Amino acid sequence: MLNIDIKNIPDPIRYTDKIMLTGSCFTEHIGSALERLKFSVLQNPNGILFGPAAVCKSLRSYIQNKKFNEGELFYLNEIWNSWDHHSRFSHIDKEKCLQGINESQERAHHFLKEADWLIITLGSSYSYLLEKETNPSAPFVKNSVANCHRAPADWFSKVMLETEGINSLLTEAITQLQKFNPKLRFIFTISPVRHIRDGVVENNRSKARLLEAVHQVIDKFETAFYFPSYELVIDVLRDYRYYDIDLVHPNYAATDFVMQKFTDTCIDESARSIMEEVRKIVIARRHRAFQPETKMHQQFLQNHFNKARMLQEKYPFLDLKEEIAYFSRT
């Protein structure tokens, strides 16, 4: 296996830090792993976003605590959608769609104001520009969309952003974020998910532009760092055994390998020891007994109830309420 020298982040992530994550689906591999281990995490308030234009637009909206209105929704395939949000926010009821979006906006605004870290994972340099008017009640503006919502392809024009343009978008976003939250620090990473639908050559060009732009940006800001998710999968693992059957998405073994490297280089050493204690409690919580009424299982619950409660008392910043409630069923 090819060795890769990953520099440790100075003053790395601690358990008491608040971490926002945004970007591609690979963001959620890191975010979900941190969340399971009881870090304070908010991930993808707009849902999955692949390109820098969509990511930066969403970050500006959190700073502004933007409230979306009915004129910014559109109706397609019997549901209401937002061009700025993933389809997880879409709903058959317009009011519920809008409510879900604005509740997430509010949560993101307040979380980002207090956050210590923002982890941004970019997946593609491509941007899709809406060419069709989809809401007659609102003025039409030719903007990039975060999600195409399975709309017809001829509604959009597809462009690959230039490296300089990506650099400019990210630089402006970081500058605004630093004014909004001066203590905020940034970790950039490029998703190893292969966008083969764009074409193999085109996918590599797209990733190359992201890589160059991100490195240009972190050279400008002392508070911005790079973690090589892309290189760990593409250049270190470099084997289709580490991909799902679609040969596009890294599988569990690959994401677990990346998360271990992330832990080693981006997580504070004292936090790592706590992670191991938390991991044992979380794994025990997922245990399913075939015979839950047996004395052996009742003792298992009691033992882990005591361990979880002691861990909570030792580290008050952890949230083990769910685990303690589960183990208390003796």
Q: Give the start-to-end residue ranges of the domains of the chain.
A: 18-267, 269-330
Q: In the chain, where do the E strands start and end?
A: 18-23, 40-43, 73-76, 79-82, 117-122, 126-130, 144-145, 156-160, 185-190, 224-226
Distance CA 171, CA 178 (A): 11
Name 144's bridge partners. 129
Q: Which amino acid is at 6?
A: I
The yes or no reply on domain 18-267 and CATH 3.30.360.10 is no
Half-sphere exposure at residue 241, Cβ-oriented, CA atoms within 13 angstroms: 4
Amino acid in position 162? E
Q: What is the pLDDT of residue 140?
A: 53
What is the value of pTM for the model shown?
0.93
Identify the H or E element spanning 127.
strand 126-130
What are the residues facing 80 on neighbouring strands? 75, 91
Beta bridge partners of 130: 156
The owner of tokens 């504070």 is 268
Say how many C-beta atoms besides its own lie within 10 A of residue 55's C-beta: 25
pLDDT value for 139: 56
Residue 143: predicted pLDDT: 80
8 A C-beta contact, residue 51 and residue 190? no
In whole angstroms, give the CA distance from residue 176 to residue 144: 20
Chunked into runs of 10 residues, the chain (330 residues) has average pLDDT values of: 85 96 89 94 95 96 96 93 96 97 98 98 94 67 84 92 97 98 97 90 96 97 96 90 87 92 95 94 88 87 94 94 88
